[in-house]
Amino acid sequence: MKKILIANRGEIAVRIIHTCKKMGISTVAIYSEVDEFALHTLLADEAYSVGGNAPIESYLNIEKIIRIALDCGADAVHPGFGFLSENSSFAQQITEAGLIFIGPSTHAIDIMGNKLSAKEAVAHYPIPMVPGSGDALTDVTSAKQIALEIGFPVLIKAAAGGGGKGMRVVDRIEDFEESFERAKNEARAAFNDDSVFLEKYITKPRHIEIQIIADQRGNICYLFERECSIQRRHQKVIEEAPSAVVTPDLRERMGQAAVNVAKACNYYSAGTVEFLVDENLDFYFLEMNTRIQVEHPVTEAITGLDLVELQIEIARGKSLPFRQDELKIDGHAIELRVYAEDPYNQFLPDIGTLVEYREPTGEGIRVDSGFLQGNTIPLYYDPMIAKLTVHAPTRTECIQKMKAAIDAYVIHGVKTTLPFGIFVMDHPAFTEGHFDTGFVPKYFSEEKQIEDEERNSWFAAKIAGKLFGSQQKSIPQGNALKSNWTRRK
């Protein structure tokens, strides 16, 4: 394998290029019209236009991507994450064209790509499952009956989906029918498949996932856990490894469960098994992602491994170079996804130009970025600018290092999630490890912002009154105390 085409863009394309350069492998980038001068095209050895700006015209254009790979003499294709990374047809066509697909088999992608077939596959192993319907549901009447048997609240989920699309939490039977139809409509629009199923909704869950790596000879290892509970719109924003609540015993049991999930579909390459963990630290299988994850840097930080390099070597047919008992956790790592989003406006995208852009540097600080100063964030794709990852000996030190790194990060021209990162690092619920997937609505909602502003205004008025009484002079209104919501705008 001497030349790899990267069927992706942005920071993951740049990330793959760095590992390929380290391994002495030539890289081929593809780009849409708006990405012609993007960082990944500048760093790759070769770059070719793949079409227009819309994903369906470019990064989802299977025929064009394969043609470019063959014409440029590539040996393999790395899909990164998102776009075609979990498209079994793409993987199959890559293989049929005589190229190597750097990822799992089409069989594994197919089984784990549908939540119902994934549950059926893992049912042969002792893997805890959330109570729910075992089949796809289309009839609202029978679905209602199942919901009553499970007990409210229930979660309606798209069988073919992810990222929060086609998902509805229902607390009352009176709201079930409307939520059921909305979930089906969302699933149809997002995945061209309106199949949905029901699960018991676990209140106050933590989202904890296990990174696994497996070769084509049946060797499987788990690379410990990642805590991914800080989310907005069911999508992760901050991840860390290891989790603050996972004990060595729980880690081993979850790790073995993840290995069994991989066995259930004869998995090889890098993959992630996601679990929900309740207040009693009981865990339940959620799904498997058959690709490298956005948050893989925190696992690399605590293990010292290069997951992209392992993916490539496994695709070459090599065995894992280690055993499970040789793997150890080194320190703590936290990742913040730096999105061009306004956290003070429901995390809506804030598209614009990076007028000023300077990344933090230093020991234990890593930035995976796909942009340079002067670049414009395209409106056609996910608005992630970069991933900021820090590593330190302890969780407490890691939190402090993250705060320092955020302070040193300079981004002007667009609003970002950097202020949200500071808010989380400062919040007692996070620092003490007492949080779940409801962190954002509980502590960072619009209502909470108003409450904080009103409370701070009240304190400011009291202070002003005391100063006025003792010094007989007024304090300008502009000196009112500011909350964490506004101090880093």
Q: Which residues are catalytic?
A: 291
Helices 88-96 and 62-71: crossing angle in degrees, nearest 10, is 30
Count of C-beta atoms within a 10 Å radius of residue 289: 20
Residues 6 or more apart in contact with residue 23 via CB below 8 angstroms: 309, 312
Start-to-end CA distance of the chain, whole Å, equals 47
H or E element at residue 105: none
User: Which of 378, 431, 425, 426 is CA-nearest to residue 53?
Assistant: 378
Helices vs strands, H then E, count in the chain: 16, 20
> How far is residue 252 CA from its own chain's centroid?
23
Contacts of 136 (CB under 8 A, 6+ apart): 116, 159, 195, 196, 197
What is the identity of the amino acid at 422?
Answer: I
Contact between residue 100 and residue 66 where contact means Cβ atoms under 8 Å apart? no
Q: How far apart are CA 376 and CA 57, in angstroms?
A: 20
* Three-state SS at 274: strand
Kindly calculate the radius of gyration of the chain based on its CA atoms and give it in whole angstroms. 24
- Omega of the bond prior to 205 within 30 degrees of 0, cis? no
7 by DSSP, 3-state: which? Answer: coil
What six digits make up the tokens of 434?
């007492």
Please say whether the dihedral angle defined by the alpha carbons of residues 171, 173, 178 and 181, taken in this order, is positive or negative. Answer: positive
* Both structure tokens of 109: 């992608």
**DSSP class per residue in 143-202:** HHHHHHHH-SSEEEEETT--TTTT-EEE-SGGGHHHHHHHHHHHHHHHHS---EEEEEPP
Q: What is the 3-state secondary structure (H, E, C) of 383-403?
A: CEEEEEEEEECCHHHHHHHHH
